[in-house]
Amino acid sequence: MNSKVPIEHNKPVVIWLLAVCTLIFCMVVLGGVTRLTNSGLSMVEWEPIMGIIPPINASEWQDTFSKYQQSPEYQKINRGMSLDQFKSIFYFEYAHRVLGRLIGLAFLLPFIYFLLRKKISARMVPKMIIMFILGGLQGVLGWYMVKSGLVHNPHVSQYRLTAHLLAAICIYSYILWVAMGMLWDNTANTAIEGFNRLRVFSLTITALIVLMIISGGFVAGTRAGLAFNTFPLMNGQIIPEGLFSMSPVYLNFFENLLTIQFNHRLLAYALFISIPVLWFFVQKSQCQQRTRKIAHLFMLMLGIQVSLGISTLLFHVPVALAATHQAGALVLLTLSLLLNHEFRKAPAHNA
């Protein structure tokens, strides 16, 4: 017996899930801007409920600023900052936290409504609950990340920052995947010649994109993008000296600025080669027209993302370019997931 709710019946639920994905997308970009503007440590307290209310009058602003003045970041980096300057960084972090709470409400309230109206099948309920739990844990992980910079060294741990970023894209990907499973089937491609090869190749590229995003997290967390601002050479070399100057060797991948940026470039080269190859195979196959169109968009976005990455590097990481580059990575991941769904093995009713 097919337990899947009919696709037409699922449209409001799909729209809701895609809207949540859009909010998460904005959250990731805003998080990048918060980091790029050095605003992430401006709120030194975590108040999940009352924290949604910002300072309103002069007394409350002064109290909030006084708490920040006791933090290591103010004492060691921003000493002498005025209240107006503090407000300029406070609002980025405040907006980031409020958006996180709004995402929680945007998920929970419609979920309760759809559940009561029986628009979500019993089989889908556990998936929705997992989404909500992951979102709550992401909030806790965000505060755990911020706490790493509220100590003697006022610098957010690149490990925690990358974990926070990775968790966000995992939640985004999971919700998007479930929504796609409710929106359309993928039966048209399963019988084509070379289906399994295309499927494995597409999944491999998605894994490379995720690794690329993870490496980007380490680039951001260590500010490696502010070093070696030439392309295609680094320090005048294709393979620069000092890639493994740290001991033990594995630390170079996470703490050596040269190695971190080199690995980010290396993954970009891998994608620059592999995505066009996948596009070629898709166009040569008997895939349905929708799959071909997604592959075209994938190729287009690759060109845009590579251009954004090079520009961000050469112009020494301006906020607008860097934030757009981060958004581009998520768009590239989205298109990769769409292609993965086109080559999914499971039948549509197991979405």
* Distance separating alpha carbons of residues 18 and 12, to the nearest angstrom: 10
Name the β-bridge partners of 237. Answer: 234
What is the rounded average pLDDT of the residues 61-89?
94
Smallest CA-to-CA distance from 175 within 214, 121, 132 is with 132
Worst-scoring range by mean pLDDT, 37-51, 85-99, 127-141, 268-282?
A: 37-51
Is the model more confident about 78 or about 8? 78
Label residue 162 exposed, middle or buried (CB < 10 Å: 0-12, 13-18, 19+): buried
Q: Note if the bond before 248 is cis, omega within 30 degrees.
A: yes
The single residue listed with the structure tokens 């393979």 is 239
Give yes or no for residue 215 having a pLDDT over 90.
yes
Q: What pLDDT shows up at residue 38?
A: 93
What residue has token string 């995992």? 170
- What are the beta bridge partners of residue 234? 237
Q: Is there a contact between 23 and 192 (Cβ–Cβ < 8 Å)?
A: no
pLDDT tens track for 285-330: 988 899 999 999 999 999 999 999 999 999 999 999 999 999 999 9
| pLDDT one-digit tens code per residue, 153-202 | 899 999 999 999 999 999 999 999 999 988 876 666 777 888 889 999 99
- Residue indicated by tokens 């993870």: 214
Higher pLDDT, 200 or 350: 200
Rounded Cα–Cα distance for residues 24 and 124 (Å): 20
DSSP state of 246: S
pLDDT of residue 193: 83
Q: How many residues does the chain have?
A: 351
Q: Is 83:63 a contact under the CB 8 Å cutoff?
A: no
Q: How many CB atoms lie within 10 A of CB 285?
A: 18
* 3-state helix, strand and coil shares in percent for the chain, rounded to the nearest 5: 70, 0, 30
Q: What percent of the chain has pLDDT over 70?
A: 93
Question: In the predicted model, what is the mean pLDDT of residues 11-26?
Answer: 96
- CA–CA separation, 180 vs 69, rounded Å? 47
